Amino acid sequence: MQLVCPAGNLPALQTAIDEGADAVYAGLRDQTNARAFPGLNFSDDELHRGIAYAHARQRKVYLALNTYPDCMHLDTWKAAVDKAADFGCDAIIVAEMAVLDYAMRTHPQLPRHLSVQGSATTAPALRYMHERFGIQRAVLPRVLSIQQVERLCSNAPVPLEVFAFGSLCIMVEGRCQLSSYATGASPNRHGVCSPARFVRWEEHDDGSRSVRLNHVLVDRFQQGEPAGYPTVCKGRFQVAGETFHALEEPTSLNTLELLPRLARAGVAALKIEGRQRGVAYVRSVTHTWRTALDRLEAAPDHWKRKPEWDQTLSQHAEGHQTTLGPYHRHWH
């Protein structure tokens, strides 16, 4: 299985390659990708350098063009597709049909991967995207059980990529009305769940801190309590007299224990979430998964999950806790 790792900037890209990523995925500094944070992503020169670095080591670079343009700004996405082809990207990761159609007609030699935000969860959906837009891989949404993934692997017309580690999204892969309600900015149109310009931190006399996303109070942290990046879905709210994580606790997906089963199912690639994370995260997580994959390939019948792998991954998980998420559903 191919290991696909995040690259939020050039140092992260180089680190992922050095630690054993088979491919990295990156974005441009505009709204064409779903991690459009200030200071993140690639300039043209940095993307050129990153692709050269990867190709010199026989690795691949995928360009994420995975947001949804409106008809007034489609040319921005078309220009990004042109850039991916001109720069020698190994594939583009796309969610929206007009962008896929343009890429297919204009640059048929440029491989097209269906983004997780394309939300194709059935064999007929994957067949349609393959027949109509020539996709050559699909990234499955993080809403499927392991049994559903196995069935899709046996019926899909294209190789499938699944998320292996990183943040979860309970809002249909970013199509979130909570964030849109709080800020007026859709994550799938503007590239981030909580745009930095809407985030407001407040310091209190008792040492606690509260954070608002525009007008919505998302959370309050006691003195010394770790505070993650504020998203509405992972905030604490008062419900029936109690204050708790009413929608989703801060936790990260970790599928390490499913690695042999995913391999037997025929999964083509494992994706690590985290383009918004730093170089230390990329180094540690990539190294851990590379080690686990290499040991599985070397001795599939004797592979065992190592406790130190989980310990390392937990250090980089949201809330320092991990879950199998929908993978472990008893119903499917």
pLDDT digits (tens, 9 = 90+) for 281-321: 999 999 999 999 999 999 999 999 999 999 999 999 887 78
Return per-residue pLDDT of the chain as tens, 332 residues.
Answer: 999 999 999 999 999 999 999 999 999 999 999 898 888 999 999 999 999 999 999 999 999 999 999 889 999 999 999 999 999 999 999 999 999 999 999 999 999 999 999 999 999 999 999 999 999 999 999 889 999 999 999 999 999 999 999 988 777 776 778 888 899 888 888 778 888 889 999 999 999 999 999 989 999 999 988 887 788 888 999 999 999 999 888 888 999 999 999 999 999 999 999 999 999 999 999 999 999 999 999 999 999 999 999 999 999 988 778 888 888 876 65
Q: Do 232 and 179 touch, CB atoms closer than 8 A? A: yes
Ranges of each domain in the chain: 2-168+251-328, 177-244
Encoded tokens for 310: 């989980």
Q: Do 322 and 251 touch, CB atoms closer than 8 A? A: yes
Bridge partners, residue 91, by sequence: 62
Question: How many beta carbons lie within 10 A of that of residue 72, not counting itself?
Answer: 7
- Residue 167 has, within 13 A of its CA and on its CB side, a CA count of 21
Look at residue 282 and give its three-state secondary structure. helix
Write down the mean pLDDT value for the chain.
Answer: 93
Residue with token string 């990156």: 26
Distance between CA 153 and CA 134 in Å, rounded?
A: 18
Please state the pTM of the whole predicted model: 0.93
Q: Do 62 and 91 touch, CB atoms closer than 8 A? A: yes
Q: Do 116 and 141 touch, CB atoms closer than 8 A? A: yes
Superfamily of domain 2-168+251-328: Aldolase class I (3.20.20.70)
Q: Do 238 and 306 touch, CB atoms closer than 8 A? A: no
Q: Do 29 and 169 touch, CB atoms closer than 8 A? A: no
